[in-house]
Structure 1
């Protein structure tokens, strides 16, 4: 096999043909793009030599070696001319198909991905991208192809369901597609078709926090063996993956805090969602008491909340067998368990806690999301909209101020 090498900062072909080593200089600088381009050509040359289809002077007409291969070139040209269906080979012929390239792309990027993210990427590639683009050469995929694909996947994929994909999920599908095509365009030096294709607008997430009365009702009637689990969920704002992966080593009952250092996603121990998600959660007294009770039950195990075998809880199973039946029994509106996090946020706000403290407790880097998502629920929780300001100014005698200003 031939190679691409560099001499004095310029690239050259290095291969053997007819028992003769050929070093053919180019004027191209030794850059990643140029190496990729010449490597593609070198692969074509290797293939043509192997199939006895290589014409030396077609590639290197100015080479001093042309005369040495005249007879062989004429013989190959005669052979090609006699073929019923001559095969045309051009420089871009070795740009791989989408399916061939995507395997390399995954192997190169998986080192920086969590297992859960890798699982999602593979699912998207297998279910959406390969069926659509698998056999297409990367440089043949166009911007109109991408726009039509995005529009097509928004429709229901079978007659069983009439539900369309959400804009959020469509954006998730398009994200690895963008990464694959942009990397291929850079590597094989062709224009990326992913130009000016903006993510679809995502509607604000609808949150449905529990009122404090509903929280009390739920905790008073939920199964005894899960009451402490839900006390922790309702009053710490922990994400599902965080409470599922909570280990006793990260619980400090002397300092009344939980350290978020790990999460559990699909049975795999992973890092927290973002850098801000690494945090210390200060615990209220009900949570401390719940954890002390739980310690009597699972204190000898690794995980705080686990099954009889010491294995961490499987949140889908808990949701199906405990959460939803409890809501039905109490005649409470059906909501996802993640609403416990939203509930805690709104109750903290309603209690007048410092927004920066709340953001830190929840693992947010700023208060921006707090005010955008949760603040509108504060009046509903307190039923005293504007009362804090009223209390602030209630002792100010405005009549006296006005009279003094006229003196």
Structure 2
């Protein structure tokens, strides 16, 4: 049986042709990616052998075996030259998944943000190419896709700290797989196997906002040089990438507003998350005061929150060194820093701010997400006893009002 094998950490082909065992050495190191690529070549060789279209010297021109198969090569070349259309039809060059992935990723980078491009490339390298790389695009089946999805839930190496992949992350892996298969199906005219494979259900993540008292406690006791940073986070609902990328040129303290025009993701300046994310945030007095103090510290730098060299803060480092130790010291429940955004939203709702205004402040295009995520924090949203209407009626002398109507 044909296979790709290794000798001294270098890969070689091992197959039979005309009853003779052929071993053809390569200079490629024994890696998963190289094995995948050579397996693709080997599959093509086997297909050509079955169709009597294999010319040994075309694939291995420097091999000592070329002389052994010279007469076969000449016969097959003659047939291929006399039947070019048939040969082209039989050997339709549908690329392997690994080959097409290289092309597809390059083509799509132009429309992706750098952080997203890195994410997708990582998914291909870590998940998709090891599983599908050796198959031609038309050989991948729906059953194979479904079995693969089920197989990656459990970690390959079970250790004390290993965890199952979340449904959300598995969906992230499947999204580019669907995209590349659909594109290949269009280009090479075969039915896409990614049919009626629905995303896995994702349970809503419970938000854990701070109470106003907890916010006040945190801001009063957090390290002084980070008090202004967290004041802005707690009272503007800015996303992590937005506050990381906040520059002084987008802060207008005369108009008490911050413009969200850029974000910072993994050290790269990018555009905001969505069209609605381009926005003007109206600043409350605590935020204005905090920014005025911060201007005395970093006003001569580009970024509002940065180190002594003017480089923006590394939010992972801040979380590890400041955020969690502060929560532990104050005996507050450990929560992700993103909860500052949820906290701001719930405090705005509790204060009775207009939901449409809140949605715009947060960078949402509608109030839909606001009510879906924070519904239990909307005054009277979960109350179904009619008490709010009762209080309205109590404010009016109902009988008197009725009499006035008929006068």
Normalising by the smaller structure, the TM-score range is 0.7 to 0.9
Instruction: Name the stretch that deviates more: 50-59 or 113-122.
Output: 50-59
Per the alignment, residue 187 of structure 1 pairs with: 187
Q: Superposition pairs for residues 199-348 of structure 1, below 5 Å?
A: 199-348=199-348
Q: Distance in 1 between matches of 2:379 and 2:283?
A: 25
Q: Deviating runs (4+, > 4 A) in structure 1?
A: 46-52, 379-383, 385-391, 399-407
1:364 aligned partner: 364
- Kindly report which structure 2 residues correspond to 1:145-160, keeping only aligned pairs within 5 A, or say none: 145-160=144-159
Structure 1 counterpart SS, 2:210: coil
Cα displacement (A) at 1:157: 2.5
Does the C-alpha gap of structure 1 residues 382 and 312 become closer, same or farther in structure 2, counting only changes over 3 Å? farther
Asked whether the equivalents of residues 350 and 378 of structure 1 are also in contact (C-alpha less than 8 Å), the reply is yes
Mapping 1:377-388, distance limit 5 Å: 377-378=377-378
Change (3 A) 1:105 1:382: closer
Cα separation, 1, equivalents of 2:357 and 2:124:
40
- What pairs up with 1:41-190 in 2 under 5 angstroms? 52=74, 53-54=76-77, 55=79, 56-60=81-85, 91-160=90-159, 161-190=161-190
C-alpha contact 2:181 2:192 (8 A) present in aligned 1:
yes
Q: Hey, what's the Cα distance between the residues in 2 that align with 1:277 and 1:327?
A: 29
Q: Distance in 1 between matches of 2:137 and 2:395?
A: 73
Deviation string, structure 1 residues 293-315 (Cα, Å, up to 9, x no partner):
00000000000000111100000
Contact 1:98–1:133 (CA under 8 A) maintained in structure 2: yes
Cα distance in 2 for partners of 1:164, 1:367 equals 34
The separation in 1 between residues aligned to 2:288 and 2:312, in whole angstroms, is 20
Classify the secondary structure of the residue corresponding to 1:112: coil
Indicate if the aligned counterparts of 2:349 and 2:379 stay in contact, CA closer than 8 A.
no
Asked whether the 8 Å contact 2:376–2:382 carries over to 1, the reply is no
TM-score, reference length from structure 2: 0.77
C-alpha distance in 2, partners of 1:215/1:378? Answer: 19
Structure 1 residue aligned with 2:38? none
Judge conservation of contact 2:375–2:382 (CA < 8 Å) in 1.
Answer: no
CA distance in 2, matches of 1:348, 1:405: 39
Partner deviation per Cα, 1:165-186 (whole Å, 9 max, x = no partner): 1111000000111111111111
Contact 1:211 1:381 in 2 (8 A): no
Instruction: Give, in angstroms, the shift of residue 374 of structure 1.
Output: 0.8
Give the equivalent residue in structure 1 for 2:353.
353
Question: 1 CA distance for matches of 2:135 and 2:85?
Answer: 30
Contact kept in structure 1, 2:352 and 2:379, CA below 8 Å: no
CA displacement 1:2-53 (0-9 Å, x = unmatched): xxxxxxxxxxxxxxxxxxxxxxxxxxxxxxxxxxxxxxxxxx9x99796653
TM-score (norm 1): 0.77
Does structure 2 retain, via aligned residues, the 8 Å contact 1:346–1:375? no
Runs of 5+ unmatched residues, structure 2: 1-47, 59-72
Tell me if the contact between 2:380 and 2:388 (Cα under 8 Å) persists in the aligned partners: no
Task: Give unpaired runs (5+ residues) of structure 1.
Answer: 1-43, 62-87
Contact 1:181 1:194 survives alignment (8 Å): yes
Taking the aligned partners of 2:145 and 2:243, their CA distance within structure 1 comes to 39
Contact 1:350-1:382 at 8 Å conserved across structures: no
Distance 1:317 1:331, change over 3 A: same
Residues 262 and 269 in structure 1, CA contact (< 8 A), matched pair in contact too: yes
Are the structure 2 counterparts of residues 279 and 220 from structure 1 closer, same or farther at C-alpha, using a change threshold of 3 Å? same
Partner of 2:6: none
Alpha-carbon distance in structure 2 between the residues aligned to 1:302 and 1:391: 52
- Name the SS of the counterpart of 2:264 in structure 1: strand
1:68-112 deviations in Å (ceiling 9; x for gaps): xxxxxxxxxxxxxxxxxxxx9863552111111100001111011
Bigger mean CA deviation after superposition, 97-106 or 394-403:
394-403
How many residue pairs were aligned? 337
Q: Any conservation in 1 of the 2:277–2:364 contact (CA below 8 Å)?
A: yes
Change (3 A) 1:247 1:195: same
Q: Is the 8 A contact 1:248 1:299 kept in 2?
A: yes
User: Residue 396 of structure 1: CA displacement?
Assistant: 1.2
* Change in 2 beyond 3 A, CA 1:285/1:361: same
